[in-house]
Amino acid sequence: MTGALDAVIQGILLGGLYALFAAGLSLIFGVMRLVNLAHGDLIVLAAFIILVLAGKLGLDPFMAVLVAAPILFAIGFALQHVLLNRTLGRDLLPPLLVTFGLSIIIQNGLLQLFSADSERLRSGAIETASIALGGGIAIGVVPLLTLLSAVAVIVILNLIFYRTALGRAFRATSDDLEVAQLMGIDHNRIFATAMGLAFVVIAIAALYLGLRSNFDPTIGPARLLYAFEAVIVGGLGSFWGTLAGGIVLGLAQTIGARIDPEWQILSGHLVFLIVLAIRPRGLFPRALD
Amino acid sequence: MALLETRHLKAFYGDFQALYGIDTALEAGETIAIIGANGAGKSTFLKAIAGLVRRPADSVLFDRLPIGARSAADIVKLGIALVPEGRRLFPSLDVEENLLVGAHGRKLAGPWTLDRVYSLFPILKERRSQAAPTLSGGQQQMAAIGRALMSNPRVLLCDEISLGLAPIVIADIYAALPQIKAEGTSVVLVEQDIAQAMKVSDRVYCFQEGRLSLSGRPRELTREQIHDAYFGT
């Protein structure tokens, strides 16, 4: 019984990480219907940026991410403004091809700069600290912080989307690009701002990716897959759905691993397929198309 | 000098030419109506002014400024707002958000605030927190007009605001027009309902297959002239 309860708790905590991977993907898909195939590699790139900043400035990763976030916002804004906005239109293929190319460029660029060695963000005692819940169950401080950060990110994104003029412009542009322009909304700028915001979320995801496990330049595509599955399971266009999707995925993997360690990854994919078969629009769909 | 002028305005959708040299002028404080059969180019004319279709840079003048090369987002900031055909409210925004987003690019001070729009269309205040798609057609049209007014436009372009609405609802919507004009806004109406267009406008332009076929003051035009200009007989 304790084992099952522990699996559920650890699964929910792992879900926080997947929700962080997925939140940025969900945000940009929600605003501009862009499927960013480089999302996982961008998380890895952000982890390397945090690693370099922490090393050069002698900062703890939690401080380094505060320095990295505005830099990543600027990179995301520029990437969208200069490159990705040109690919958006009626045809879905150009953004897929360009972000796929971007994924390859990032992976190879990182391999050149950092080699294929595994890296890790170091934050001292907090990495191994845990809180005992009694009954032989303990939760790690970093996994707990991951989940709390995921919830905070979702709450803040919801506040931005539903309580600010910027969020109103995001939703209006997503609803009807042509009429949004009639409201004086510069959609190129709105898309670039959304991408900048997604990059800030990517920075937070990268922090926990690097604290919880080793990373190297080639692990991006697998992070993209988890993020993608969490978004689809949760339902397109809903941030709370994305959090739920991440948790469903985390639970499936952790419970699968308890049944047989080899089943961990497979269980996540199976649950994704089952949700896709039963509810193709996800558990909490919001987008109408 | 006209407030808004089109000079030999041509408009294109890709390679397809929809307008062939349209000359019109709107004086400050005036209401003009554009009439014509389906496919005559009326909506394209409004979209060309509003910046949604490609047109030559010097073919649209606003306050003597050529605006043909400006983007739609720039044009609304200059003071020209379009109420698009079919209302096209933002479905994921509630009524009040739809109105507020209309003020997103507002650069101009003016009379139109949320309260002023609510006093023009009181029903919108009652429905302020409802999702836009739950409104009736007439209420949606009011919201679409209110949304355009929120940018404090000097020129309001209205595309088929009576389309698909019951006569009593159309009367309600047109009853707001004098108040809009009283705030100093000039109006360009595209209207299928010729009688309605003749009643409220100072001048009428009739389009036929992308060309101007007739223009004049409503009381100076005969039924036959309009019939010929409309159907091309």
Q: Tens digit of pLDDT for each residue in A247-275? A: 999 999 999 999 999 999 999 999 999 99
Q: Closest partner residue to A171 among B50, B90, B102, by Cβ?
A: B90
For residue A193, name the pLDDT band (cuts at 50, 70, 90): very high
Q: Mean pLDDT over all residues of chain B?
A: 92
Report pLDDT for A288: 45
The residue of chain B with its CA nearest to that of A166 is B104
**Residue pLDDT, tens place only, A224-234:** 999 999 999 99
pLDDT tens by residue, A38-80: 999 999 999 999 999 999 999 999 999 999 999 999 999 999 9
A154 by Cβ neighbours in 10 Å (0-12 / 13-18 / 19+) ranks as buried
Q: How far apart are CA A111 and CA B148, in angstroms?
A: 52
The model's pTM: 0.92
Mean pLDDT of B80-89: 96
**At A119, phi and psi to the nearest 5?**
-125, 170
Q: Could you tell me which CATH class the domain A2-278 is placed in? A: mainly alpha
Please work out, in degrees rounded to the nearest 5, the angle formed at the alpha carbon of residue B140 by the alpha carbons of B134 and B142. Answer: 145
Res. A204: pLDDT tops 90: yes
Give the DSSP H or E segment for A244: helix A239-259
pLDDT at B1 (0 to 100): 76
- Return the percentage of chain A with pLDDT > 70, whole number: 98
The b/e string for B155-169 (b: 16+ C-beta within 10 A; e otherwise) is bbbbbbbbbebeeeb
Q: Which fold has domain B4-231?
A: Rossmann fold (3.40.50)
Alpha carbon A166 to its chain's center: 21
CA–CA distance, B34 with B36 (Å, rounded to integer): 7
- Cβ(B151)–Cβ(B102) below 8 Å: yes
Q: What is the DSSP letter of B221?
A: -
At A132, is the secondary structure helix, strand, or coil?
A: strand
pLDDT tens, position by position, B155-191: 999 999 999 899 999 999 999 999 999 999 999 999 9
β-strand partners of B36? B207
CA atoms within 13 A on the CB side of A190: 25
Do A288 and B51 count as a contact with CB atoms less than 8 A apart?
no
Identify all chain B residues contacting A168, using CB atoms and an 8 Å cutoff.
93, 97, 100-101, 104
> Using the beta-carbon criterion (under 8 Å), do A182 and B106 form an inter-chain contact?
no
At B233, is the pLDDT very low, low, confident or very high (cuts 50, 70, 90)? Answer: low
pLDDT of res. A289: 40
**CB of A164 within 8 Å of any CB in chain B?**
no
- A135 — pLDDT class (breaks 50, 70, 90): confident
Mutate to test the interface with B, among A168, A179, A236 (most CBs of B within 10 A): A179
Mean pLDDT confidence for B126-134: 95
Contact A175 B147 (CB under 8 A): no
Q: At what angle do helices A165-175 and A2-32 cross, to 10 degrees?
A: 70
Return the residue of B nearest to A171 by Cα.
B92
State chain A's mean pLDDT as an integer.
Answer: 93
Q: What is the mean pLDDT of residues B26-52?
A: 93
**Residue (of A6, A38, A50) closest to A200 by Cα position:** A50
- What is d(CA A205, CA A149) in angstroms, rounded to the nearest whole number? 9
Residue A285, Cβ density class (10 Å: 0-12 exposed, 13-18 middle, ≥19 buried): middle
Angstroms from B120 CA to nearest CA on chain A? 20
* A-to-B residue pairs, Cβ atoms closer than 8 angstroms: 72
Among A110, A123, A115, smallest CA distance to A46 is for A110
